[in-house]
């Protein structure tokens, strides 16, 4: 299934194939600063979303050693979070078209120990501290956080997987 989305001013339009309808919330300080508060993202199954309009307005900012965040340079909408070395491509849950939002489910919260006390998300779900989350993503990656070759390999794998799903 393909999901469409756009930024607040409408100048950037894109589509992507989600890995699932699961939404992940991150309470880390970087996400809260960039997204205005906790970030809510959906994983893309097929690499970076395909930007069909306003590519020139999409600005990508390297926010940490590994992470990049993309936003609309006209309206400031926080759109994508990527960790190229892990082949991770996340799309802000807030920018996808309304028709898909009723299918989404908040599946996990990470950096729960960094959440400020003034808000809490209702309901039961997987909640991980920073240490638990980092242990999970580094598990089985003794070869390091990835080289260009690893990156290319996992891009190929996700493309292969999509082709198999079709």
Residues that bind Zn ion (CB under 5 A): 7, 9, 11, 26, 28, 31, 72, 74-75
Q: How far is the CB of 70 from Zn ion (least distance, A)?
A: 11
Q: How far is the CB of 106 from Zn ion (least distance, A)?
A: 15
Tokens for 135?
Answer: 């242990």
C-beta closer to Zn ion: residue 28 or 91: 28
C-beta closer to Zn ion: residue 7 or 112: 7
C-beta closer to Zn ion: residue 130 or 150: 130
CA 39/CA 127 separation, integer angstroms: 14
Dihedrals phi, psi of 4, to nearest 5 degrees: -100, 155
Q: How far is the CB of 142 from Zn ion (least distance, A)?
A: 24
SS (H, E, C) 33-68: HHHCCCEEEEEECCCCCEEEECHHHEEEEECCCCCE
How many other CB atoms are there within 10 angstroms of residue 160's CB atom? 10
CA 70/CA 60 separation, integer angstroms: 4
Q: How far is the CB of 20 from Zn ion (least distance, A)?
A: 19
C-beta closer to Zn ion: residue 37 or 45: 37
């Amino acid at each position: 299934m393909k999901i469409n989305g756009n930024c607040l001013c409408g100048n950037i339009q894109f589509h992507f194939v989600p890995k699932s309808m699961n939404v992940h919330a991150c309470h880390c300080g970087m996400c809260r600063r960039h997204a205005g508060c906790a970030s809510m993202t959906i994983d893309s199954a097929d690499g970076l979303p395909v930007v069909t309009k306003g590519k020139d307005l999409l600005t990508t900012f390297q926010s940490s050693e590994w992470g990049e965040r993309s936003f609309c340079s006209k309206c400031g909408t926080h759109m994508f979070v990527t960790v190229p070395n892990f082949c991770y491509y996340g799309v802000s849950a807030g920018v996808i078209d309304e028709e898909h939002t009723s299918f989404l489910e908040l599946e996990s919260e990470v950096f729960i120990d960094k959440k400020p006390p003034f808000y809490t998300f209702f309901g039961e779900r997987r909640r991980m501290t920073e240490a638990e989350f980092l242990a999970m993503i580094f598990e089985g990656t003794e070869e390091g956080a990835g080289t260009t070759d690893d990156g290319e390999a996992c891009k190929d794998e996700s493309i292969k997987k999509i082709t198999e799903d079709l």
